[in-house]
Amino acid sequence: MRVFTSATLLVFSASLALCQNPPNENLCNAASATTVSHADGVIVQEVVLRGKWGTNKATAYLPDKEIADGGVVFSHSEIHSDTGASMNLLPFALTLAHAGAAVIVPHRTLLWPATDQWMNREGGVVICAEHWLIDHAKVFNNGEGTSQVRDGERILVHEGYAYVGPNLCDPLETSYCEHKLPFLYDDCGYTHYCRTAMMQLQLGETDPGDRTKQMLSEGGLWEAQWIQKHLGLTPVETLAKPHPATVSKLR
What is the pLDDT confidence band of residue 6, given thresholds at 50, 70 and 90? Answer: very low
Which pLDDT does position 7 carry in this prediction?
A: 39
Report whether the peptide linkage leading into residue 113 is cis, meaning its omega lies within 30 degrees of zero: yes
Dihedral sign computed on CA atoms, order 147, 152, 153, 155: negative
Say what the pLDDT of residue 147 is: 85
Mean pLDDT for the stretch of residues 45-51: 97
Strand order in the sheet with 54-63: 28-39, 42-51, 54-63, 101-106, 70-74, 161-164, 198-201
* HEC letters along 29-74: EEEEEEEEEEECCEEEEEEEEEECCEEEEEEEEEECCCCECEEEEE
pLDDT at 14 over 60: no
**DSSP character string of 74-135:** ES-SEEEETTS-EEE-HHHHHHHHHTTEEEEEES-EEEES-SSTTTT-BHHHHHHHHHHHHH
Give residue-wise pLDDT tens across range 99-153. Answer: 999 999 999 999 999 999 999 999 999 999 999 999 999 999 999 999 888 887 8
CA–CA separation, 46 and 250 (whole Å): 7
Looking at residue 149, what is its pLDDT? 80
- pLDDT at residue 155, rounded to an integer: 81
The pTM (predicted TM-score) of the whole model is 0.88
Backbone phi and psi for residue 94, each to the nearest 5 degrees, phi listed first = -65, -35
Can you tell me the mean pLDDT for 94-98?
98
d(CA 227, CA 163): 9
The rounded mean pLDDT for the chain is 88
pLDDT computed for residue 26 by the predictor: 79
